[in-house]
């Protein structure tokens, strides 16, 4: 719609915003009218109309099989559009049109904003299935007529009240028509069922909806008065009401077809099961986060015990082995700490990598600068945990063996993501140091060092990737990891 309006018409940005607001609401008019809606806007030169939006009803058959958006028609070809635009009134004159052997009643509704007619809504009703209308259909049609008059007067949609139609109740979910005093004059079967879910034992017709709703909902103190007003349809608002184990969603729409409030529409939807599932998910998420938090605490306790045991050991080799175990446990604890703060089992690994680098850098024998380049991105928990251990082992190995006591240097961790599919991405990690390099004849695939055994096992077994360690030029060591990961960022 933005492109069509800006390309073909003279409407400004505020006018375009009004049309967007209208289009966000006009499913309501389409369903109440049992009719298709097409929004026509005059072109810049005033000689044609361009259709910028279209809506089909959920309550009846369509009268347009084709997409009408983008069509251009000259003035004069559709006299009802001309009359509605020029005279600023709803035009219903004329015989039904025949489209592919289907009779269609056409009406034109001017779209007014601040006294100006911006365009015209063509309301097209398929008459092929017309029958004697029921009380529900008559209520729908009367409500549609009131809304159409409000659109023609510039009183609908309501400014600042853009509605998410996917989340708001729709006409078919449940509809109540109230008079000016807030008393129900009609309630659809779905609306009555929703209120029965709240505990209502009688009919709704003849009852004051605001008072009845407040009585069915739990006591909320000062909120009761606001709930009474909302359910009485005094202002365009939405709320949810919970009672008797049920939850219903309400949306009030005041009706002012001639500038004076004559009543209101209240749409309602039973969302009991939806809210129950949402609460179950929230409870599940909270439980998972609590588990990660407790695992992190337990791992930190294990690390503290190992650290305490290391201080009491006389053997230098034993003490160093326990300190290495402390760092391994710590890297896993960092992942669980991050997961305990997330709503899902995915983590931003850059933060974890930075913390692992800082933790391992504490053992540096000299002034070694450890830094990260590039982004790891978001990783699944089953990838993040083993990868944090792999990163810990490789960095620990580099800092312990690449640099002598007091020697300075650099260790750089580079990460890069690739791939465009959901599951076919790759994560390429390079750890490069400018230390003393590998000893002659060193084979990382056969080395018996415990740290390298852990790396090989985790990279090839857990992560399904590859691992290599080679001499760097002009000096130092380069470790390359290639791991398959999800490419969802």
Alpha-carbon distance of 29 to 59, in angstroms, equals 11
Q: Which helix (H) or strand (E) holds 431?
A: strand 425-433
> E-strand spans in 114-200?
116-126, 175-179, 184-187
Contact indicator for 123, 92 with CB cutoff of 8 Å? no
Top-confidence range, 34-38, 218-222, 433-437: 34-38
Give me the pLDDT at residue 487, please.
Answer: 54
Alpha-carbon distance of 158 to 264, in angstroms, equals 14
Give me the pLDDT at residue 102, please.
Answer: 83
Cα-based distances in Å from 22 to 14, 19, 38, 54, 425 = 12, 5, 12, 12, 43
- Residue 12 pLDDT more than 80? yes
Contact indicator for 21, 162 with CB cutoff of 8 Å? yes
Span 299-328, average pLDDT: 84
Give me the pLDDT at residue 346, please.
Answer: 83
Residue 380 binned pLDDT confidence (cut-offs 50, 70, 90): confident
Span 266-275, average pLDDT: 92
- Residue 424 pLDDT more than 60? no
Q: Which of the pair, 282 or 260, is modelled with greater confidence?
A: 260
Span 64-90, average pLDDT: 93
Nearest to 366 by CA among 310, 424, 409: 409
Give me the pLDDT at residue 363, please.
Answer: 66
3-state secondary structure of 185: strand
Residue 82 binned pLDDT confidence (cut-offs 50, 70, 90): very high
pLDDT tens digit string along 24-49? 999 999 999 999 999 999 999 999 99
First to last CA, the chain: 30
Span 385-411, average pLDDT: 81
Burial of 456 (0-12, 13-18, 19+ CB in 10 A): middle
- 408-419 burial, b at 16+ Cβ within 10 Å, e below that, comes to ebebbbebebee
Span 421-432, average pLDDT: 76
- Residue 282 pLDDT more than 50? yes
Give me the pLDDT at residue 30, please.
Answer: 95
Q: Which of the pair, 344 or 293, is modelled with greater confidence?
A: 293
Alpha-carbon distance of 439 to 452, in angstroms, equals 15
Q: Which helix (H) or strand (E) holds 481?
A: strand 477-485
Beta bridge partners of 417: 427
Candidate from 152-166, 438-452, 470-484 with smallest mean pLDDT? 438-452
- Residue 420 pLDDT more than 70? no
- Residue 441 pLDDT more than 80? no
Span 441-466, average pLDDT: 81
- Residue 6 pLDDT more than 70? yes
The torsion of the CA quartet 296, 298, 303, 306, rounded to 10 degrees, works out to: -170
Alpha-carbon distance of 203 to 349, in angstroms, equals 58
Alpha-carbon distance of 294 to 287, in angstroms, equals 11
Candidate from 17-21, 365-369, 427-431, 445-449 with smallest mean pLDDT? 445-449
Give me the pLDDT at residue 58, please.
Answer: 92
- Residue 422 pLDDT more than 60? no
Span 406-435, average pLDDT: 79
pLDDT tens digit string along 100-114? 788 889 999 999 999
- Residue 489 pLDDT more than 50? no
Give me the pLDDT at residue 447, please.
Answer: 67
């Amino acid at each position: 719609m933005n492109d069509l309006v800006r390309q073909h018409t003279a409407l400004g940005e505020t006018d375009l915003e009004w049309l967007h607001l209208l289009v966000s609401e006009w499913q309501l008019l389409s369903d109440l009218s049992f009719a298709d809606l097409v929004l026509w806007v005059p072109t810049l030169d005033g000689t044609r109309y361009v259709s910028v939006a279209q809506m089909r009803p959920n309550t009846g058959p369509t009268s347009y099989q084709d997409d009408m958006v983008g069509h251009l028609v000259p003035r004069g070809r559709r006299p009802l559009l001309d009359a509605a635009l020029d005279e600023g009134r709803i035009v219903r004159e004329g015989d039904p049109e025949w489209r592919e052997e289907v009779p269609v009643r056409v009406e034109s509704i001017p779209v007014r904003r601040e006294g100006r007619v911006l365009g015209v809504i063509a309301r097209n009703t398929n008459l092929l299935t017309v029958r004697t209308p029921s009380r529900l259909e008559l209520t729908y049609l009367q409500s549609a007529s009131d809304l159409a008059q409000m659109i023609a007067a510039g009183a609908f949609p309501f400014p600042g009240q853009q509605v998410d139609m996917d989340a708001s109740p729709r006409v078919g979910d449940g509809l109540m028509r109230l008079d000016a005093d807030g008393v129900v004059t009609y309630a659809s079967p779905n609306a009555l069922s929703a209120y029965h879910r709240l505990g209502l034992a009688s009919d709704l017709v003849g009852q004051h909806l605001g008072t009845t709703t407040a009585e069915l909902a739990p006591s909320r103190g000062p909120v009761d008065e606001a709930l009474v007003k909302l359910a009485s349809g005094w202002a365009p608002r939405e709320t949810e009401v919970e009672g008797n184990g049920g939850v219903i969603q309400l949306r009030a729409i005041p009706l002012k077809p001639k500038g004076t409030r004559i009543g209101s529409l209240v749409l309602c939807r039973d969302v009991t099961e939806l809210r129950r599932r949402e609460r179950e998910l929230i409870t599940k998420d909270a439980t998972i986060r609590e588990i990660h938090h407790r695992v992190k605490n337990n791992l930190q306790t294990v690390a503290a015990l190992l650290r305490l045991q290391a201080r009491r050991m006389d053997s230098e080799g034993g003490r160093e082995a326990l300190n290495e175990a402390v760092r391994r446990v710590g890297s896993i604890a960092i992942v669980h700490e991050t997961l305990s703060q997330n709503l899902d089992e995915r983590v931003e690994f850059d933060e974890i990598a930075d913390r692992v680098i800082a933790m391992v850098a504490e053992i540096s024998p000299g002034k070694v600068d450890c830094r990260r380049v590039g982004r790891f991105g978001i990783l699944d928990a089953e990838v993040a945990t083993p990868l944090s251990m792999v990163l810990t082992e490789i960095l620990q190995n580099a800092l312990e063996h690449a640099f002598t006591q007091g020697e300075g240097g650099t260790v750089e961790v580079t990460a890069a993501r690739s791939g465009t599919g959901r599951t076919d991405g790759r994560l390429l990690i390079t750890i490069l140091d400018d230390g003393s390099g590998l000893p002659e004849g060193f084979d990382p695939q056969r080395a018996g060092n415990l740290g390298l055994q852990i790396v090989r096992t985790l990279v090839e077994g857990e992560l399904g990737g590859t691992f290599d360690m080679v001499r760097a030029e002009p000096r130092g060591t380069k470790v390359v990891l290639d791991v398959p990961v999800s490419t969802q960022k």
